[in-house]
């Protein structure tokens, strides 16, 4: 770590996060960090900052030798990549909050960081105010990290909370999330799980050294959660959350996915409500640890950007130890998931794919079944998120072959069911 340096910042984006950072920096003079220029699309739009601060020419920042830190908080992942890669090549450290841009380009960006010797930090891209990347990077060894599960999207969690605690319909809850500034400008990114999946790609790198992309992840959002599913959860004193998970299997590989899940009342994630995020880490000797904090909003996200800026004063960078110093863990597809599936028409369900079916209920409006299904059957098909079908993981969701034998003894005979 070098001696402390003065930071001169070029900021890209002055939306919720950018303006939040501008305000927060003005309240933290001890940081010795000042914003010299802000690049935005529309210079004529009235903003709460001096007009001479703004430019629409990115080269005013990227080619300014005085600016030694670029902060990138824009929505466009292609332009974001161009900004970040050019800034690193031009000898500037970079702080980014753009999870989509990072998850699409992480291997190239890590290589660029290694080549240029600059730092690329992005704590604000995952879980806003929770310092989860820094903790995974510095504190948890790959071999001792048994499992990690997390609520990483504040908007979907807010919507589910309103549906459960206040009985709002999905559309009403989404509208409220947008009015309060928790939902992305394009709500599909949140409610269909894309935003959370992009964050999860980044967290898998820092948890297990695994490089992947969202098109290889098994994930879904919350658009198919029905009132009947919520009622089913409430009848069992459970809630439904959108949960990302990774777990070391007995074969040493990692099972991972991001799906709605029933959460029991004794689970730490049960109490993560509204726009808050929560992460539960299970490690070899420390048992479970729980991180909790605001996962959306202007100041919580700006606070994470600020902490990265502060770390740059001392030359901090991610070392990606789990990628570089270990044999990185690899992903497994050799496991079963225990799921609840609710549906209108049984013809839409790939019932022949299930290994076990342990519960079955036929209703007028919707029916449901509970059973186990191989991960491979889900990753290659979309029936489970089509035709208003809803699939929610059971609380104990991952089953390896040995454990399946026990489940089979308890399950209903497929042949004996009128399916």
Q: How far is CA 264 from the centre of its chain?
A: 21
How many Å apart are CA 315 and CA 93, to the nearest integer?
9
How many Å apart are CA 334 and CA 399, to the nearest integer?
10
The answer to whether 31 and 309 are in contact (CB under 8 A) is: yes
Burial degree of 275 (CB within 10 A; 0-12, 13-18, 19+): buried
DSSP code per residue over 60-113: HHHT-TT--EEEE--S-HHHHHHHHHHHHHTT-EEEE--HHHHHHHHHHHHHHH
- Is 171 a residue of the active site? no
List the end-to-end C-alpha distance of the chain, in Å, as a whole number: 65
Catalytic hit among 199, 241, 322, 385 = 199
DSSP code per residue over 182-226: -S-SSHHHHHTSHHHHHHHHHHHHHHH-----GGGS-B--STT--
Neighbours of 362 (CB within 10 A): 10
Burial degree of 4 (CB within 10 A; 0-12, 13-18, 19+): exposed
Distances (CA, A) of 347 to 169, 276, 351, 383, 395: 27, 38, 9, 10, 26
Residues belonging to the active site: 199
């Amino acid at each position: 770590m070098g001696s402390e340096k003065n930071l001169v910042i070029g900021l890209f984006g002055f939306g919720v996060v950018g303006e939040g950072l501008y305000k927060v920096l003005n309240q933290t003079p001890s940081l010795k960090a000042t914003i010299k220029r802000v690049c935005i699309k529309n210079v004529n739009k009235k903003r709460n900052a001096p007009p001479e601060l703004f430019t629409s020419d990115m080269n005013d920042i990227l080619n300014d030798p005085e600016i030694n830190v670029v902060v990138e908080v824009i929505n466009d992942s292609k332009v974001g990549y161009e900004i970040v890669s050019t800034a690193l090549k031009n000898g500037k450290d970079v702080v980014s909050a753009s999870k989509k841009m990072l998850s699409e380009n992480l291997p190239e960006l890590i290589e660029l960081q290694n080549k240029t010797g600059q730092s690329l930090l992005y704590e604000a891209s995952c879980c806003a105010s929770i310092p989860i990347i820094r903790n995974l990077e510095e504190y948890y060894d790959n071999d001792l990290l048994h499992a990690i599960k997390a609520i990483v999207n504040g908007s979907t969690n807010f919507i589910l909370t309103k549906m459960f605690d206040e009985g709002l319909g999905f559309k009403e809850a989404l509208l409220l999330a947008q009015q309060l500034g928790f939902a992305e400008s394009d709500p599909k990114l949140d409610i269909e799980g894309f935003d959370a999946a992009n964050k999860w790609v980044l967290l898998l790198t820092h948890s297990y050294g695994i490089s992947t992309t969202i098109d290889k992840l098994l994930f879904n959002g919350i658009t198919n959660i029905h009132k009947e599913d919520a009622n089913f959860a409430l009848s069992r004193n459970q809630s439904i959350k959108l949960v990302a998970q990774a777990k070391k299997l007995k074969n040493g590989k990692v099972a991972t996915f991001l799906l709605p899940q029933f959460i029991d009342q004794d689970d730490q994630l049960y109490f993560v409500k509204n726009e808050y995020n929560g992460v539960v880490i299970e490690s070899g000797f420390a048992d479970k640890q729980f991180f909790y904090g605001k996962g959306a909003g202007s100041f919580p996200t700006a606070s994470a950007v600020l902490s990265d800026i502060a770390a740059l004063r001392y030359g901090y960078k991610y070392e990606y130890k789990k990628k570089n110093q270990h044999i990185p863990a690899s992903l497994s597809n050799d496991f079963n998931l225990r799921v609840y599936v609710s549906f209108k028409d049984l013809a839409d369900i790939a019932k022949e794919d299930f290994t076990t079916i342990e519960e079955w209920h036929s209703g007028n409006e919707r029916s449901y079944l509970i059973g186990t299904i191989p991960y491979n059957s889900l990753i290659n098909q979309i029936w489970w998120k089509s035709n208003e079908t809803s699939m929610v993981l059971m609380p104990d969701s991952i089953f390896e072959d040995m454990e399946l034998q026990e489940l089979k003894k308890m399950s209903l005979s497929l042949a004996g069911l009128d399916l």
